Amino acid sequence: MSKSHLELTNVQMAFDTKDGPFVALENVDLKIRKGEFLSLIGHSGCGKSTVLNIVAGLLQATRGGCVLDGHEVNTPGPERAVVFQNHSLMPWLTVYENVELAVQQVFKKSMSKKERREWILHNLKLVNMDHALDKRLGEISGGMAQRVGIARALAMKPSVLLMDEPFGALDALTRAHLQDSLMKIQQDLNSTVIMITHDVDEAVLLSDRIVMMTNGPAATIGEELHIDLPRPRNRVTLADHPEYVRYRQAVLSFLYEKQRFPGKEENEQEKQTADAEVPVQEDNSPEVVNKSEESPVRRIA
Ligand SMILES: Nc1ncnc2c1ncn2[C@@H]1O[C@H](COP(=O)(O)OP(=O)(O)OP(=O)(O)O)[C@@H](O)[C@H]1O
Ligand SMILES: [Mg+2]
C-alpha cells in the first residue's frame, strides 16, 4: 500500500478526437503529503485542469492512476472538493442553496439543522457573499459566483481541496483577502490543496511546492520548486524577502525562458531558449528539481 497521502503514478491521459487519440498528459508522477499546499503552473492548454480532474475522479487516466490514502480514485467524492475554473454552480438555486446542497451532502448526519445554517452563513461571510443569500446565479457577477464556489468547497471541510484558478475572476482586493483566508483555513484544517494558477506571486505566496508543467501535447512535470518560506506568510513583508524574489524568478524563468514556445518539442525549446536573448540569472537561483530528465516525454500513435 502506498505511504503517500495522494499519489499520481505514471499518468497518461489520451483523449479520443476525430483525428485520433490526443495525448494531453504523459508520465505524470506526483506524490503529495497530507496538508501540503501545491500549486500547478504552466501555459494555457498544457493539461493542468486535466490533472485536477483526474484527482477529482471526473476523468479516468488512460494509463497509470491516482491513489488517495491507499484507495484508488475512480469517482468523485465529498472528501475531494473542487472549485472549478467556471465555478459550476446550480443556476436555478440561490447563493445560499448552492452552499446548502454541499453541506447537506456532507453533514446531514453530523450537524443539526441550526448548525448547518450557521456553517453555511459562516462560509458565505468568509467570501463576503452573505449580503446576497437569496440571489440566483443569473443575478450575480462572475466574480461573485466564483466566491460562492469557493464557499461551497470550503464548507465541505474537504481532506483535499482542488482549485482551478479560483481567484482568476476577482478584483485585486478580494483576491488578496481570499488568499489570506485560504492560507488560514488550510493551516487550521490541515487540508491538502492542489491549486492551479497563472499568477506567479500567488503561487509563491501560498504554496509549499510549485509544480511546473511542460507545454503539451504529452505534457509532463518539468520542474518542482519547494517554497521554504516561514508561515504564517504576510504578503507585504514577503515582497522584499530575497528568497521570495528568487523563487519568483525561478518560476518566471521556467515559464518565459524554458517553456516559452507552446507546441514545440522539448529539445527544440531548449535550442531556442539557448538562442534567446533574455538573460538568465544563474547564481542565487533556488534549488529547482528538473523532473523532465527523469521522465522523458513519450507519445503514442
Ligand atoms: N475532452 C477533451 N477532448 C479532447 N481534448 C481535450 C479534452 N479536454 C482537454 N483537452 C485538451 O487537452 C489539453 C489540456 O487541456 P487542459 O484543459 O487540461 O489545459 P489547461 O492547462 O487547464 O489550460 P488552461 O490554462 O487554458 O485552463 C488541451 O490541448 C486541450 O485542448
Ligand atoms: Mg484549465
110-148 pLDDT, tens digit per residue, is 999 999 999 999 999 999 999 999 999 889 998 899 999
Whether the Cβ atoms of residue 80 and residue 62 lie closer than 8 Å to each other: no
Q: Cα of 293 to ligand 1 centre, how many Å? A: 24
- Quote the CA–CA distance of 268 and 17 in Å, as a whole number: 26
State which ligand 1 atom lies nearest to the alpha carbon of 52: 18
Q: Give residue-wise pLDDT tens across range 174-230.
A: 899 899 999 998 988 899 999 999 999 999 999 999 999 999 899 999 999 999 999
CA atoms within 13 A on the CB side of 3: 0
**Structure-block grid coordinates of residue 134:** 437569496
Q: Cα of 169 to ligand 2 centre, how many Å? A: 14
Mutate to test the pocket of ligand 1, among 22, 52, 212, 255 (most ligand atoms within 8 A of CB): 22
- How confident is the prediction for the chain on average, in pLDDT? 88
- Quote the CA–CA distance of 210 and 39 in Å, as a whole number: 5
Task: For residue 31, list its beta bridge partners.
Answer: 7
Q: Cα of 40 to ligand 1 centre, how many Å? A: 14
Task: For residue 32, list its beta bridge partners.
Answer: 6
The pLDDT value given to residue 88: 83
Q: Cα of 148 to ligand 2 centre, how many Å? A: 19
> Model-level pTM?
0.88
Whether the Cβ atoms of residue 68 and residue 6 lie closer than 8 Å to each other: yes
Whether the Cβ atoms of residue 290 and residue 279 lie closer than 8 Å to each other: no
**Bond into 217 cis (ω within 30):** yes
Question: What residues have a C-beta under 5 A from ligand 2, the ion?
Answer: 49
Instruction: For residue 301, name the pLDDT band (cuts at 50, 70, 90).
Output: very low
Query: Domain 1-74+207-301 belongs to what architecture?
Result: 3-Layer(aba) Sandwich (3.40)
- Quote the CA–CA distance of 240 and 50 in Å, as a whole number: 35
How many CB atoms neighbour CB 119 within 10 A?
A: 18
